[in-house]
Amino acid sequence: MTSPEILLDHNAHALLVFKEGRTFLHAIALHQPPVRLVKLPLLERRHLRPLEYRGGPYPLARALRLFRRAGRDFGITEGAAAALRSIDQARKQEAA
């Protein structure tokens, strides 16, 4: 697993990219209910730009909190919930 990144697509939808494979980007999408896992072709990466918060990169802890809240409000798939849990656990282990 690579370091998770919070990116915006060309429609200004938030994506939490957590794995970059040889041909696909694996991400959690927040643009259509429910919160779900999506696979994007690697070529789409050129259309994505980093999401910023107060002039710096968007904080991962804040993004996880907002993705979880959207999951509670609008629904979340089992795969997306499991991916959010694993990202959060990895973040906590890295901090400790």
All structural domains of the chain with their residue ranges: 5-95
The share of the chain scoring above pLDDT 90, in percent, equals 86
- The band of 1, judged by pLDDT with boundaries at 50, 70 and 90, is low
**pTM (two decimals):** 0.90
- Given a cut of 80, is residue 2 above it in pLDDT? no
Strand, helix or coil for residue 26: strand
- Given a cut of 90, is residue 32 above it in pLDDT? no
- The rounded distance, in Å, linking the Cα atoms of 68 and 81 is 8
Mean of all residue pLDDT scores within the chain? 93
